[in-house]
Amino acid sequence: MVTEEKIGNNIPLDGAEGHVTGTSEYVSDISKIENELIVDFFYSTEPHGEIINIDLEEARKISGIVGLYTYKDIEGENKFGPIIKDEVLLAESILEYVGQPIVIIAGESKKAIKLAKKTIKIEIKKLPHILSIEEAIEKNQFIGETRVIERGDIEKEFQKAEYILEGNTRNGGQEHFYLESQAAIAYPQENNTLEIISSTQNPTEVQNVIAEILGIPFNKIVVKTRRMGGAFGGKETQATHPAAMAALVAMKTKRPARIVLSCDDDMITTGKRHEFYNKYKVAFTKEGLITALKVEFFSNGGYSNDLSTSIRERAMFHAENAYFIPNIKTIGKVCKTNLPSNTAFRGFGGPQGMLNIESIIEDIAIFLKIDAFDIRRLNCFGIEKNNTTSYEQEVSNNTLPELMDKLLKTSNYKERHKQIEEYNKNSTLYLKGISFTLVMFGISFTARFMNQASALVNIYTDGSIQVSTGGTEMGQGLNTKISQIVADEFCVEPKTVRMMITSTEKNNNTSPSAASASTDLNGTAAKDACQKIKTRLIEFASNYLVKDNSEHKPSINAIEWTYDGIYDKRISNKKITFKELVKNAYLNRISLGERGFYATPQITLFDWNTGRGKPFLYFTNGAAVSEVRIDRFTGELKVLRTDILMDIGKSINPGIDKGQIIGGFIQGMGWLTTEELKYSEKGELLSHSPTTYKIPNIQDIPEVLNVDWIENGKNVVNIRQSKAVGEPPLMTSISVWTAVKHALSFISNGEIPKLDAPATSEEILKAMSRFPISMKV
């Protein structure tokens, strides 16, 4: 019986002291070995073209250059990809985007490599290129199959609809902007084996891709990840490329090889969050009840698939967000363009899907001249009825109505809405807006096979514990939460538990740390291992505690396991500590190590032929209210206040969870307001540094930011009744963007304002310029 649970306590982030003192070790901090090589690459400056000739002769003569490698030096398979094998490590005959690697350079110094880049001569025949979604649609350039999810009869509903609106929404991409760029070190070892240190969310993917490129079995590669300085999805699949380059050099030269991309090169050559362009048609009543919706999602995948098709599918799963729509059809296509392959980013398509429906609801509210909150409340998923998604998954344990009702009161939304209406009637300098939006984010990988995890727990004879999982720590607090789970299982202090470096030799065939499911999967696997060990220890204790007592026979049901010690409740005066128990268990040859495994239950394989299935174990819900102020002459945006209320079940670590909510909101706000990717006409990324790409700073944060969550003890399907909290909070930021739209409605003369995301000052000014400004003297 646990008497002092560590679950629910604010245990400091694992490694926090090292982070603030600068002693935490990242890939670039690892001490260099004497004969270590520096790895870099020469990349394309053309978006599309045919390689006629590559001349490396001058570059080979440069002192300090050890190796120059093209696709011809790859002994295994140059093509790879997590879903479709359509990516290449090094360009072969065709170049497909600016930043595409052509030649790997291995050198003794950065100076030599820089000079080699200048002397490499390449002859290219330029080919027509596509950069925009519209051009890809026009030229029928798509990746993968078209997907459809459909329920009801939308055409019948459109024919009898009271009102119909048609329009489109657009959101831009987003740079991950992690503090640690893509980095890896490859150490050659005996018998043509390699050890890789990689800044990756997905050690198994790195292991597999390197092995395939080198043409060797997976077991000859061991990939390790201590931690990352941020990732946000950008290191789920795209950490494979630099790691494979370092591995190729190490295998060729038999010398350690290190690659650490500069911030500029990282931004230029890697993929982003997907830009989406969506067409919609919606039918609704005079009260704002949505009766039918058709949405066509078009995403910009870049030159290859990467994870684009899965990201498109999740956008479709979240096309209705938190709202029951009886007749709905969503169509999803991935556009092929001459840009770096876009990839996973926190939310994985969910933000794009949710932004679209929340924008549609704002449009309906403006059209009907009623409060958008009332439309959201009317259409919100119900408890007993109207509680199935478009793909017929039941929304069980639905807390959305509770969140709406509570936040409505705590945010004083209705009163502030009225105040803003009065303010905008009298203000000539500023406009204000307010919006209340919802989040219903499905938790699980949408690829069913990825919903599995393993863990290794070892207890030592002094009572200390080591835990190894397939999860990777990128600042999200995964290791801290798992250490709390393990500590709670054995009734010890979390400092007793040491989380080990993630390694493919200890945990094989692991899923990436993504989809907000890392604690769910790896924490439950660790718990499974703990319970297997604990079962053995309880059996041993039942014998050990009565060995000198003739009155009682061994009984596992009599064993009490507490923070005060382990004892037989029939002999309460005889307690032993955890340390004493494990030491004696070892002396009696009881195993103190175990592997745990977890496969997410209940979810089903989604059938795209029928558009039906249960892809998610549960939903993490949230609601947010944001109030904004716009300068009517410059378009400058200020977020005045945001109130966020979440349902995260029972929090394992409230401090970490609050940090995730705030961090997710701010990152999402950046995507929707300040972070704009700018490309030249030939596809060169122009905003490829902190000076040209604006993430939110302290001035952008709301002056008032209230964060809270409800008590939800009904979530019994997940580890310790918790809910995932990594990605869902990002979508609370949509309330900021829709608040801008609400503000613009006061000068739109009844028209629906056209506003793309991000709503930068320029975009807001452009939107306002469509409507005359009435000046009051």
Of 566, 599, 632, which marks where a domain is finished? 599
pLDDT at 8: 83
pLDDT at 357: 98
pLDDT at 772: 65
Q: Indicate which residue of 727, 751, 762, 763 is catalytic.
A: 727
* Beta partners for residue 757, in sequence order: 171
- Tell me the two tokens of residue 608: 């795209």
- φ/ψ (deg, to 5) at 66: -100, -35
Judgement on whether residues 614 and 629 belong to the same structural domain of the protein: yes
Per DSSP, the three-state class of 193 is strand
Judgement on whether residues 257 and 330 belong to the same structural domain of the protein: no
- Structural domain span for residue 207: 34-129+176-269
Does residue 391 lie in a domain region? no
Judgement on whether residues 310 and 366 belong to the same structural domain of the protein: yes
- Closest CA relative to residue 262, chosen from 40, 467, 431: 40
**204-216 pLDDT tens trace:** 999 999 999 999 9
Does residue 163 lie in a domain region? no
Does residue 162 lie in a domain region? no
Does residue 197 lie in a domain region? yes
pLDDT at 1: 38
pLDDT at 14: 85
pLDDT at 752: 95
Taking 50 as the pLDDT cut, the residues of the chain under it are 1-3, 775-777
pLDDT at 3: 46
Judgement on whether residues 470 and 423 belong to the same structural domain of the protein: no
**102-139 pLDDT tens trace:** 999 999 999 999 999 999 999 999 999 999 999 999 99
pLDDT at 777: 29
Judgement on whether residues 369 and 459 belong to the same structural domain of the protein: no
Does residue 527 lie in a domain region? yes
- φ/ψ (deg, to 5) at 205: -60, -45
Q: Which helix (H) or strand (E) holds 58?
A: helix 57-60
pLDDT at 5: 73
Judgement on whether residues 676 and 721 belong to the same structural domain of the protein: yes
CA–CA dist 647, 731 (Å, integer) = 14
pLDDT at 486: 98
Q: Which helix (H) or strand (E) holds 104?
A: strand 101-107
Judgement on whether residues 219 and 334 belong to the same structural domain of the protein: no
Of 244, 269, 294, which marks where a domain is finished? 269
Does residue 549 lie in a domain region? yes
- Tell me the two tokens of residue 16: 């926090």
Judgement on whether residues 459 and 531 belong to the same structural domain of the protein: yes
Does residue 5 lie in a domain region? no
195 is annotated as an active-site residue: no
Judgement on whether residues 366 and 299 belong to the same structural domain of the protein: yes
CB-based contact 184:196 (threshold 8 Å): yes
Judgement on whether residues 106 and 243 belong to the same structural domain of the protein: yes
- Closest CA relative to residue 293, chosen from 285, 304, 284: 284
Per DSSP, the three-state class of 531 is helix
pLDDT at 549: 79
- What residues contact residue 152 under an 8 Å CB cut-off, 6+ apart? 292, 326, 327, 328
- φ/ψ (deg, to 5) at 624: -145, 145
| Dihedral of alpha carbons 23, 28, 30, 31, sign | negative
Judgement on whether residues 102 and 245 belong to the same structural domain of the protein: yes
Tell me how many domains the chain contains. Answer: 3
Of 581, 599, 617, which marks where a domain is finished? 599
Nearest-5° Cα angle at 645, 641 to 651: 130
CATH number of domain containing 760 = 3.30.365.10
- Closest CA relative to residue 522, chosen from 663, 709, 724: 724
Judgement on whether residues 252 and 296 belong to the same structural domain of the protein: no
pLDDT at 2: 41
Does residue 12 lie in a domain region? no
